Structure 1
Amino acid sequence: MFSADVFRSRADGEGTGSERFALTYERLRHVNGLVRDGSPLVRDRERLFPLLAWSAVADPALFYAMFLHHCMTTGAVLEFGAGREDLADVLEELAATERVGALLMTELGHGNSNASVRTVAEYDAARGEFVLRTPEPAAVKFPPAVAAEGVPRLAVVLAQLVVDGAECGEFCFLVPLRDADGPLPGVDVRPLRPTPVLPLDAAAVSFDGVRIPYRFWLRDNASLTADGGFSDPFGSPAVRARRTLSLIRFAWEAAVVGLAATAGASAAVAVRHAHRRRTGGRFAADLPVIRYRNQQRALFGALSGAYVAQLVAVATATPEAPALTPQAVRTTFLMKVVTDRIAERVSARARTASGALGFLAANRFLDYQGFAHSLNAAAADNQMLLLDGAQALLAGTAYTPPADEAPAAGSRDLLDPAVWEALAAVRERTLHRELADGLREASEEGLSPFDAWNGLYDRAERLAETHAARLVLGVLREAVEGVAGSDPVTGPEAAAVLRDLLALHALEQLAEHDGWYLAEGLLDADEVRSVPALLDRLCERLEPYAEELAEALGVPYALVGAPIADEDYVGALTGTA
């Protein structure tokens, strides 16, 4: 599928502007044509997630097009139009990519918040239709990727439903935006200047009296009577908005998969290259750079992060869709934040460790780092997700703070995965108590909810970050235990290597907060001082396995197309191979 000519690397950086956008959608249709079997791909998770992973490695812009089309657009039809035969033709059209799906949620004047959407879909009872309009410049949909010419588009548009002058809540509507000849009547698509970080056909979109058939209202369990009476079992616009925005969970899962794949590609390419890149140092001549401890700290740290991201992706993007519970939703969006940060750090380390060649576009580190950077604000801003998570934890929504059971300072092994998890648990419990105390004190002082939270957002972020870190460390512990028990002969040795690799991630995280742990008496001075030496010892033990660990990530080097991943990277870059 991915060895077709459409994925061949272009010498000119795959073109610019309209040519680059056209290539993205050509690739989308190519992949879609080979996997199409009549069933929505978003329901076939065992095929969907590998396809998203390979798409991200091949072309991050293709990944965006894939998940917007299959997860968000088709997903919205299936989620909010479940069981409706009158939408069968829409699903067939999307399955054939006769129209490419898009998602129009965020608005220019409201940042990354979907809580105050002002785009209006007003019900016209006389004609049984909705009239979609953008009431003010701030309500312009911004910045959906729908500007490419010649590509028919069907969008899921988030709008405020208005019935008989009353706002009834935010709903999704299916809106044909453009055909092969351009935007449809009443739809204004203004292309934005392409960003160098990620080549997407971004646009600002507004509506002026666009008529939407009744059946294109993705009404979920809400309804309208013939005379225009509105009914919603959820009872309030606020609850309806939360239900509608639950659609974003498809994006979180997809993001975790794509980010883990690009982190793996970055780490594997850099580690592979470091075994072949030779340097003449002051104290030794003609050594591969992987022999240098500072390179090992950077590259093995990247490799560790890539493995952590892969383990998180496996735990998050499971073959069976998770239950739509508050805890499952919260865990999924926090794993998006965690994986995004890991992937950005891994690609940056891999790029830096590769020297001047790391900055060549052909070697893909900039593509992958830009991809991770772009996802900081995509599918809900990371900071907003952390604050939402913290508020839910504080409210006790499907959550109880972990027990305070860390072993005493100086009496434990910092390479033990159970110790990593226990220390994170104590930090989480402490931060939870401090945040709760801070809010109680603010309430006693008579502060408004805004003023109370406004002085505590930093603590809230730290709580959510620590909660997410503890969950990840639990995944790592289970992975090591699983490998240890997998085979009585090879399992223990393999588990020891995996533990050493994952310990790099855990100890670096610990070192980021060692001052806090020291102040709380959870680490002693000797333990804090021991961490750099522990990291060096881990690197020394991992060096014999490093290239094998990189290969075990299963990165398709031919698809990455990075010359420095070639055995003869000099020949690959000079055309003499």
Structure 2
Amino acid sequence: MNHPHPMTTSAVTTLRGLIRDEGYDRHREQLRRIFSADIFHRSARVNSHERAALTYQRMRHISDGLAARGPLVKDRTRLRAVLEWSALADPPLFYAMFLHHFATVGAVLDFGRERDDLDGPLAELASLRSIGALCMTEAGRGNSNIAVRTQAVYDPASRQFLLSTPDAAAMKFPSNVGVDGLSRLCIVTAQLIAGGKERGQFCFLVRLRNQEGPAAGVRIVPKSLTQPLALDCASVSFDAVRLPFSSWLSDSASLSESGEFHDPLEQDQRLRRTVSIMRFSWESAITALAGITRASASLAVQHAHRRRTSGPMAADLPVIRYRNQQRALFSALAGGYVAGFIAKNLPAVPLTAQHDEGALRQTYLMKVLVDRLAERVTARSRTACGAHGFYGENRFLDYQVLAHSFNAAAADNQILLLDAAYALLVGGDYTPPVDDVVPAAGRSLTEPALWSALARSRERRLFEALASSLAEVPGHEGDLFAFWNSRLAPAEELAEAHAARLAAESVQASVESVTDPDLRRCLQQLCAIHFLEEVAVHDGWYLSEGLLSAQEVRHIPALLDELCQRVAPHALGLCEALDVPFEAVGAPMSRPDYACADALKPFGSPV
């Protein structure tokens, strides 16, 4: 293997530009100052209550350091940078941050736009005098938010709403509102009842508690903090809580003083509009998950260059010399770049009511894809680091838990895939891609154009196979549940293929944008490791469809080894270009003297 050598400054700068938002560097020094403060370092052991309270102390510290004027959600580049650093430093802090800035403030700006009576609450939230949260999911409904049973009954006599929880199954859970001593303004989704009729699901801005305790009629039951992700989760229920009329985030709907209701949207459209609040969570999740993916890969690859081992076949070698380590770690490194490209290339979700369904679908599918990628990369990186990988202060376990949590958080991944498949089949806003794979003769599996072409062909053929079965139930007559229930697996496959194609095209565009031929070749070889592994998962399908030849399938393992050999000399430079802020990560293993640091400084990293 060639000895590793540093990548040129211009090359590092070029690669950084493919994963960093324009304008990120304006905030770097400020973030470094904020996250290097003592509040992010452990000086003594803390109990569960203190740990939960620390999340909000850190949140206020960040707010004070940023000194932002107005809602951060309007400065998307800055907020995304803050969320990334928060996820790297303290995953529970990241949850509190995105639920406040995106899910709460974003919902008020969207559903309550152009309303002067919300200026006061927005100022409270912007200054963190009150902290936001989201009370959406109900205990008896799992991860489904489309049939909430919490009720907001309009009382025309007082022009107020009575917010009630009809039974235990309708309690809001889990919501991060368990810490006392804080003022909390939260988004609560509820079924609006006016004139004795259900009018649809809406968002309400509710003051759950002040510094003295829960508001009248609000019952908050904190849960144990022993769960892997140390959030102050609680169940929340309401007993005829009186809400002022201004708490209703009415969007385009209206209610007269007498109770006459008007909404230009049908109830199913209203439901989709309200549930679209999740789009803020998807963008946040992608930002955080891409960050921990890049950090895990970079940390592990650098460690493998320092970690030395001896054996009967070779003495005192860095473990990165071993091909099995290269396969695992260069795959992780490629995953870090793929996640970074996706996060950079994904447009910011709109704050206003004008949503493009295709763009929203792309956002939540990228949440699913990057989440699965983060799970794989964090696990491989931890495993490759031996005992140091299991050591909590080196952060791999924290990052794995964050990735695991997003299987369900910000909407369940499987539900999102099935919703996407249904929309692709019957939504009317989708055209399947062309099936244009070039013949096998003379082509190379390392070409980005071929990754995209294979992904397009797989998506097109899975779509056609599933769409053709629609003819079995003309006009969707008969037992629709039985029809879809027997097709859930191919529907999920279709959505996964659609997401994979979007990702492949995003990565292809990033790679081909590099003008320096040597650097482009280096990046292409790294990303080829990722896509060859993706293709290998479905190689039997590609073979049966005639999209790959038997010779190509047999050659994939040898080609992966060859790519690892070519990437190896550049691995440390590729890590540097991932631009991981290790001052936020705080892992002792990130330092060259990690062995002494671990032994001599037991409480030196973020808690």
1:320 to partner: Cα distance? 7.8
Q: Which residue is 1:67 aligned to?
A: 98
Q: Which residue is 2:36 aligned to?
A: 3
Correspondence 1:545 to 2:597: no
| Per-residue deviation, residues 441-490 of structure 1 (Å, max 9, x unmatched) | 2559974111100000100110010011001100111111101x2xxxxx
Question: 2-side partners of 1:576 and 1:204: how far apart?
Answer: 39
1:450–1:74 Cα change, 3 Å: same
After TM superposition, the structure 1 stretch with the greater mean CA deviation from structure 2, 192-201 or 439-448, is 439-448
> 1:501 pairs with 500, 505, 526, which one?
526
1:315 to partner: Cα distance? 1.1
After TM superposition, the structure 1 stretch with the greater mean CA deviation from structure 2, 406-415 or 373-382, is 406-415
Q: Kindly provide the amino acid, as one letter, of the partner of residue 64 in structure 2.
A: G
Q: Is the 8 A contact 1:257 1:317 kept in 2?
A: no
1:9 to partner: Cα distance? 4.0
The 5 Å alignment of 1:461-476 reads: 461-476=492-507
Question: 1-side partners of 2:601 and 2:122: how far apart?
Answer: 50
| 3-state SS of paired residue (1:282) | coil
1:135 to partner: Cα distance? 0.4
1:555 to partner: Cα distance? 1.2
Q: Kindly provide the amino acid, as one letter, of the partner of residue 136 in structure 1.
A: D
Q: Which residue is 2:6 aligned to?
A: none
After TM superposition, the structure 1 stretch with the greater mean CA deviation from structure 2, 556-565 or 531-540, is 556-565
Question: 1-side partners of 2:594 and 2:370: how far apart?
Answer: 30
> 1:370 pairs with 389, 395, 401, which one?
401
Question: 1-side partners of 2:372 and 2:57: how far apart?
Answer: 30
The 5 Å alignment of 1:318-337 reads: 318=348, 324-337=355-368
| Per-residue deviation, residues 292-349 of structure 1 (Å, max 9, x unmatched) | 0100111111110011001000011549879620111110110100110111111000
| 3-state SS of paired residue (1:555) | coil
> 1:176 pairs with 207, 211, 219, which one?
207
Q: Which residue is 1:241 aligned to?
A: 271
| Per-residue deviation, residues 159-196 of structure 1 (Å, max 9, x unmatched) | 00000210000000011111112211111111112243
Question: 2-side partners of 1:362 and 1:11: how far apart?
Answer: 14
Q: Which residue is 1:23 aligned to?
A: 54
Q: Is the 8 A contact 2:305 2:319 kept in 1?
A: yes
Question: 2-side partners of 1:182 and 1:19: how far apart?
Answer: 17
1:185–1:418 Cα change, 3 Å: same
1:436 to partner: Cα distance? 1.0
Question: 2-side partners of 1:30 and 1:384: how far apart?
Answer: 36
1:158–1:318 Cα change, 3 Å: closer
| Per-residue deviation, residues 350-407 of structure 1 (Å, max 9, x unmatched) | 0000112111111100000000100111111000110111111112532111111101
Aligned length: 568
Q: Kindly provide the amino acid, as one letter, of the partner of residue 25 in structure 1.
A: Y
1:132–1:446 Cα change, 3 Å: closer
Question: 1-side partners of 2:270 and 2:282: how far apart?
Answer: 20
Q: Kindly provide the amino acid, as one letter, of the partner of residue 519 in structure 2.
A: A
Question: 2-side partners of 1:262 and 1:397: how far apart?
Answer: 36
The 5 Å alignment of 1:455-494 reads: 455-483=486-514, 485=515, 491-494=516-519
Question: 2-side partners of 1:259 and 1:341: how far apart?
Answer: 9
Q: Which residue is 2:329 aligned to?
A: 299
The 5 Å alignment of 1:132-281 reads: 132-234=163-265, 236-281=266-311
Correspondence 1:123 to 2:154: yes
1:448–1:128 Cα change, 3 Å: same
Question: 2-side partners of 1:535 and 1:125: how far apart?
Answer: 69
Length-normalised TM-score, structure 1? 0.96
1:410 to partner: Cα distance? 4.4
Q: Which residue is 1:527 aligned to?
A: 552
| Structure 1 spans left out of the alignment, 5+ residues | 486-490
Question: 2-side partners of 1:498 and 1:10: how far apart?
Answer: 42
| 3-state SS of paired residue (1:204) | strand
Question: 2-side partners of 1:233 and 1:195: how far apart?
Answer: 46
Question: 2-side partners of 1:377 and 1:242: how far apart?
Answer: 19
After TM superposition, the structure 1 stretch with the greater mean CA deviation from structure 2, 336-345 or 557-566, is 557-566
Question: 1-side partners of 2:96 and 2:347: how far apart?
Answer: 19
Correspondence 1:316 to 2:346: yes
Q: Kindly provide the amino acid, as one letter, of the partner of residue 124 in structure 1.
A: D
| 3-state SS of paired residue (1:167) | strand
Q: Is the 8 A contact 1:410 1:527 kept in 2?
A: no
| Per-residue deviation, residues 183-230 of structure 1 (Å, max 9, x unmatched) | 111111111122432110001110001000001110011111111100
Q: Kindly provide the amino acid, as one letter, of the partner of residue 426 in structure 2.
A: A
1:334–1:576 Cα change, 3 Å: closer
| Structure 2 spans left out of the alignment, 5+ residues | 1-33, 603-607
Question: 2-side partners of 1:36 and 1:467: how far apart?
Answer: 41
Question: 2-side partners of 1:318 and 1:206: how far apart?
Answer: 34
Q: Is the 8 A contact 2:109 2:351 kept in 1?
A: no
After TM superposition, the structure 1 stretch with the greater mean CA deviation from structure 2, 336-345 or 175-184, is 175-184
Q: Cα RMSD between the aligned structures?
A: 1.6
1:25 to partner: Cα distance? 0.3
Q: Which residue is 2:29 aligned to?
A: none
1:371–1:31 Cα change, 3 Å: same
Q: Is the 8 A contact 1:45 1:319 kept in 2?
A: no
> 1:415 pairs with 437, 446, 456, which one?
446
Question: 2-side partners of 1:522 and 1:38: how far apart?
Answer: 55
| 3-state SS of paired residue (2:144) | coil
